[in-house]
Amino acid sequence: MRKPIMAGNWKLNKTPNETIVFVEEIKPLLAGVDDVEIVICPPFTSINVATYLTKNTNIKVGAQNLYWEKSGAFTGEVSGEMLKELGCDYVIIGHSERRQYFGETDRTVNKKILSAFAAGLIPIVCVGETLQERAAGRIEQVISTQIREGLKGLNAREHGKIIIAYEPVWAIGTGQTATPEQANAAHMLIRKLLTEILGEAAQAVRIQYGGSVKPDNVKELLAQPDIDGALIGGAALKADSFEKLVKFGR
């Protein structure tokens, strides 16, 4: 059984003060939820206050990026060790916005995944095709390259805890969600690839769907057998909406 994991990717939203307001609002709303894993991923500047305020609660904190070196002359970068010390459990790696705007590649994604594990963080690795790639019938090729290159050097014993987020680029922030069947087909493909890399451990890997997940479509998406959670942008920024997403099964 894979425990569903619902994660809010805040992207470039919420100052530390806004984070305090959100966390104080969401804590009582989600108190007692133990059948779903709950994660919020604020910007670096809000992580300290988020981990402090969620200590000993059922809400975990993730970062949105990291750098693969532990320390050194890398102006502007943050290491996995730094995030771990702040109380992070997760880190999003290779989001399509980072690939598109900040030059991330499958090679940098791979280095980041390995360094996240080395720091004791669980990576949430994002993959997904663009509209153009889908139209050209290249979904399988694109996802397969992202998974094979991105996950190089991983082995089941050490790294079976990895989380994959399938986020079709055309569905992010557009209101255009993949249908539950489209999403599940991609998730099945990902699990097949993971089985080649990790063997039996692939059955335990949680694969999230991301891209315009909202309270009114979350239930049918999560009802699919290979969809094990969601990575949510816009709809995770308001407490009442995030509560509904986390409680999708009720």
> Does residue 138 sit in helix, strand or coil?
coil
Render 38-89 in DSSP notation, one character per residue. EEEE--HHHHHHHHHHHTTSSEEEEES--BSSSSSS-TT--BHHHHHHTT--
CB 111, min distance to ligand 13P, A: 21
CB 70, min distance to ligand 13P, A: 26
CA 147 to chain centre: 15
231 touching ligand 13P, by CB under 6 A: yes
66 touching ligand 13P, by CB under 6 A: no
Among positions 91, 218, 232, 246, the unique one binding ligand 13P when judged by CB under 6 A: 232
65 touching ligand 13P, by CB under 6 A: no
CB 169, min distance to ligand 13P, A: 9
206 pairs with which residues across the strands? 163
246 touching ligand 13P, by CB under 6 A: no
Convert residues 115-154 into a mask of x (bound to ligand 13P by CB under 6 A) and - (unbound): ----------------------------------------
H or E stretch at 132: helix 131-135
183 touching ligand 13P, by CB under 6 A: no
Task: State which residue, 43 or 210, has the beta carbon closest to ligand 13P.
Answer: 210
Close Cβ partners of 243 (under 8 Å, ≥ 6 residues apart): 26, 29, 30
Residues 83-102 that bind ligand 13P (CB under 6 A): 95
213 touching ligand 13P, by CB under 6 A: yes
CA 179 to chain centre: 19
Residue 159 a catalytic site member: no
Which tokens is 172 given?
Answer: 């992010």
CB 126, min distance to ligand 13P, A: 7
Convert residues 7-36 into a mask of x (bound to ligand 13P by CB under 6 A) and - (unbound): --x---------------------------
Write out the E strands in the chain.
5-9, 37-41, 59-63, 90-93, 122-127, 163-166, 206-210, 229-232
Close Cβ partners of 76 (under 8 Å, ≥ 6 residues apart): none
224 vs 77: CA distance, rounded Å: 38
80 touching ligand 13P, by CB under 6 A: no
Residue 200 a catalytic site member: no
- Name the active-site residue from 95, 97, 104, 129: 95
- Name the active-site residue from 97, 104, 129, 167: 167
233 vs 96: CA distance, rounded Å: 12
- Of the candidates 5, 55, 52, 57, which has an alpha carbon nearest to the alpha carbon of residue 30? 57
Residues forming contacts to ligand 13P in the complex (CB under 6 A) are: 9, 95, 167, 172-173, 210-213, 231-235
Which residues are tagged catalytic?
95, 167
